[in-house]
Amino acid sequence: MENRRERIGRWVLVVVMHLAVIAVWQLWITLGEVEAYIMPTPLATFATLFEDYNWWSNTLVTAASVFGGFWLAVVVGVLLALLFSWSKWLNDAFMPVIVSLNMIPKVALGPIFIVWFSYGIGPNIIIAFSICFLPILITTARGLNEVEPELIDLVRALKASRWQVFTKIQLPGALPYIFSGMKVAVVLAVAGAIVGEFIASEKGLGYLMLQVQVTLDTAAMFMAVLLITFVGVVLYALVLMLELLLVVRDARVE
């Protein structure tokens, strides 16, 4: 019962702190007499939701780019980390190349992606993937290598296959590392998707921000930022829920 009260208390604190930030924002604009084109009030920002900006469709486009790039990075990152854990040669040969390629500024690759893939969600997903892929790969590889070698030798002596070793021993032990990388990757996936929409998109919240910037519609720009943040928060919450189901539950069972 006490744990439930603590969880409720934490959620109440989260809500109160967010409302406090909005209240401070409103007071700062009102008392400081800040011009609307510089910083809109929260009320003016939320009022743009009822104007013709196609918020719903643009938010869905951005969400598709963020979620697509993120989950693609999770799948590819975990699979590559698994291959690298199976073969030291593959790890030594390809990991430095992957790290070097990730040092390339993704903004510089935007025009190339336009040439290769044209405009649309596809290039945005690829840019989001390219930005958030490395943390998942590195943390997963670290987690897979942290498993005690004696335990792996034991199950192999019992004629376990590589896949069984991975699913029964390595993956459960690496889950905390994987989720740590996924949490970092959420932030990077959002940034990558917006970079893609700035460069190679005709839809989405990032593209909308560029359009309203011309008319100095700061309220709409702030609303777009809030919706982008909301997409990231939803994805982060999904990762936390998966972590709670797969990691915390297993720890309680043990």
pLDDT at 30 over 90: no
- The pLDDT tens digits of the residues spanning 90-103 come to 888 888 888 888 88
Q: What is the reported pLDDT for 86? A: 82
Q: Which two tokens stand for residue 22?
A: 């909005």
Q: What is the reported pLDDT for 78? A: 92
Q: What is the reported pLDDT for 229? A: 93
- The pLDDT tens digits of the residues spanning 160-196 come to 677 777 777 777 888 889 999 999 999 999 998 998 8
In this prediction, residue 67 has a pLDDT band, given cuts at 50, 70 and 90, of very high
Mean pLDDT, all residues of the chain: 84
Contact 189, 69 (CB under 8 A): yes
pLDDT at 131 over 80: yes
Domain 51-253 sits in CATH at 1.10.3720.10
- Tell me the C-alpha distance between 217 and 36, whole Å: 9
> What pTM was estimated for this model as a whole?
0.83
**Overall average pLDDT of the 3-10 stretch:** 74
pLDDT at 18 over 90: no
Q: What is the reported pLDDT for 156? A: 67
pLDDT at 58 over 90: yes
In this prediction, residue 157 has a pLDDT band, given cuts at 50, 70 and 90, of low
Q: What is the reported pLDDT for 253? A: 43
- The pLDDT tens digits of the residues spanning 77-92 come to 999 998 988 888 888 8
Kindly give, in sequence order, each residue whose CB lies less than 8 Å from that of residue 134, ignoring residues fewer than 6 positions away.
Answer: 77, 98, 99, 102
- Tell me the C-alpha distance between 147 and 135, whole Å: 19
**Overall average pLDDT of the 214-222 stretch:** 87
pLDDT at 159 over 80: no
Contact 199, 110 (CB under 8 A): yes
**Overall average pLDDT of the 157-161 stretch:** 67
Q: What is the reported pLDDT for 1? A: 43
Q: What is the reported pLDDT for 121? A: 83
Domain range annotation of the chain: 51-253
Kindly give, in sequence order, each residue whose CB lies less than 8 Å from that of residue 65, ignoring residues fewer than 6 positions away.
Answer: 121, 124, 125, 128, 193, 196, 197, 204
Q: What is the reported pLDDT for 55? A: 92
Q: What is the reported pLDDT for 106? A: 74
Q: Of all residues in the chain, what percent carry a pLDDT higher than 70?
A: 89
